[in-house]
């Protein structure tokens, strides 16, 4: 049940399409956190239902529709059933429900949710054709584009799909049961809650299930998620942010994603890239604060724009340090698998260089 469950994936390929879709939707839910594990996706989905069943239903619908849309467009099947065309739909469905001022169980919202989720693989494929020139992932750019498009098109005064009023660092869902805790307790809880805020959730129980899902797949990803959220928390305190925003985890979620991405997912995990991931997380927290204020002028949420911007900057870093090594995008997996891949790559390169040296020596002797 650990890692990306390749044996399970191979078994699923031989099953009927419904089983393949279920596996793809669960993996897509987990891919929001760079995890391709259906059990992790099931744990995360359970956490979303604990937070808000209506939000969770919309997120699963978004993941399902975007996955089916990718199949109909005949995109790469390996990528589809690894969840790479489901995670943007998950976030689109979740956040569209969260930002709607109509509240829970407003069934008309399912129509724009389905439409925007259908567009996720279209936008993702279009961006991928551009980003592939630099061997970069599209991250959650399709989610950011489509969610902001929907909110800008409807606004707060729309008769059928009104949105909540966007303010700098305004949280969507406040857990009043945590207000009676002491300041150290709330600061301690804000670290895992910051990880849960990747899905727009501030429930500690949801955050614990998300962290358990990450730990099940990759301890390195779980560790970097906590470190990134803690880095965002410290930045928020250093910038004298309102404590309510810090407690609700809004300073942590973008930094958590950035720290995971740099700390072993898209770079080989070394102590150099570990430090680089913490720097990226701190930088991302600054970008989050600035982006929130700029986007609020347009009455739009910051979403995960800060994560995409800061992480892409760090992935475009040109370094001659052999410890800062980026595996090809096609080989990217969890940090532990990436380490194994890079180790094998170095061994093959050494064997190839020694073979060339022996041939050169033979020619010189001849």
* Domain residue ranges in the chain: 1-163, 183-356
DSSP H helices in 73-182: 77-81, 87-99, 110-131, 141-154
Rounded Cα distance between 169 and 211, Å, is 23
Q: What percent of the chain has pLDDT over 90?
A: 65
Reported as a single tens digit per residue, the pLDDT across 219-237 is 999 999 999 999 999 999 9
Instruction: Report helix, strand or coil for 100.
Output: strand
Reported as a single tens digit per residue, the pLDDT across 118-158 is 999 999 999 999 999 999 999 999 999 999 999 999 988 89
Q: Give pLDDT, residue 171.
A: 46
Q: Give pLDDT, residue 14.
A: 87
Q: Give pLDDT, residue 324.
A: 87
Two domains, one topology: 1-163 and 183-356: yes
Instruction: Please determine, looking at this structure, whether the domain spanning 1-163 carries the CATH number 1.10.3430.10.
Output: yes
Residues of the chain with pLDDT under 70: 167-180, 349-366
Domain 183-356 fold is: Ammonium transporter fold (1.10.3430)
Reported as a single tens digit per residue, the pLDDT across 28-52 is 999 999 999 999 999 999 999 999 9
Closest CA to 292 of 246, 229, 230, 250: 250
Q: Give pLDDT, residue 357.
A: 57
Q: Give pLDDT, residue 336.
A: 84
Q: How far does the chain reach from its first CA to its final CA, in angstroms?
A: 56
Q: Give pLDDT, residue 326.
A: 87
Q: Which residue has the tokens 């937070």?
A: 51
Q: Which residue has the tokens 């993941």?
A: 63
Rounded Cα distance between 193 and 310, Å, is 21
**Contact partners, residue 281, CB within 8 Å, separation at least 6:** 227, 228, 231, 232, 255, 256, 258, 259
């Amino acid at each position: 049940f650990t890692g990306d469950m390749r044996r399970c994936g191979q078994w699923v390929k031989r099953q009927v399409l419904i089983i393949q879709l279920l596996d793809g939707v669960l993996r897509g839910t987990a891919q929001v956190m760079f995890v391709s594990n259906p059990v992790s996706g099931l744990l995360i989905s359970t956490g979303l239902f604990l937070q808000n069943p209506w939000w969770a239903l919309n997120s699963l619908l978004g993941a399902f529709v975007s996955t089916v849309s990718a199949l109909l467009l005949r995109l790469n099947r390996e990528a589809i059933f690894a969840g790479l065309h489901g995670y943007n739909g998950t976030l689109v469905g979740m956040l569209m429900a969260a930002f709607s001022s109509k509240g829970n169980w407003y069934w008309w919202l399912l129509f724009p949710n389905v439409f925007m989720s259908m567009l996720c693989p279209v936008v993702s494929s279009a961006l991928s054709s551009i980003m592939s020139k630099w061997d970069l992932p599209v991250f959650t750019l399709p989610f950011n584009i489509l969610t902001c498009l929907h909110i800008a098109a409807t606004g707060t005064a729309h008769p059928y799909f009104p949105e909540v009023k966007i303010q700098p660092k305004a949280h969507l869902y406040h857990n009043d049961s945590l207000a009676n805790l002491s300041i150290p307790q709330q600061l301690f809880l804000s670290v895992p809650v910051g990880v849960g805020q990747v899905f727009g959730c501030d429930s500690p129980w949801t955050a614990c299930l998300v962290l358990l899902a990450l730990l099940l797949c990759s301890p390195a990803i779980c560790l970097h998620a906590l470190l990134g959220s803690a880095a965002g928390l410290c930045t928020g305190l250093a910038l004298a942010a309102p404590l309510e925003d810090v407690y609700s985890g809004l300073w942590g979620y973008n930094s958590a994603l950035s720290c995971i991405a740099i700390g072993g997912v898209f770079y080989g995990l070394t102590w150099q890239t570990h430090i680089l991931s913490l720097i990226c997380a701190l930088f991302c927290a600054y970008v989050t604060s600035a982006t929130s204020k700029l986007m609020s002028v347009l009455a739009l949420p910051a979403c995960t724009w800060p994560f995409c911007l800061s992480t892409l900057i760090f992935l475009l870093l040109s370094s001659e340090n052999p410890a800062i090594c980026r595996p090809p995008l096609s080989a990217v997996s969890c940090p532990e698998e990436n380490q194994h891949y890079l180790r094998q790559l170095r061994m093959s390169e050494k064997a190839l260089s020694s073979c060339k040296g022996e041939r050169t020596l033979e020619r010189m002797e001849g």
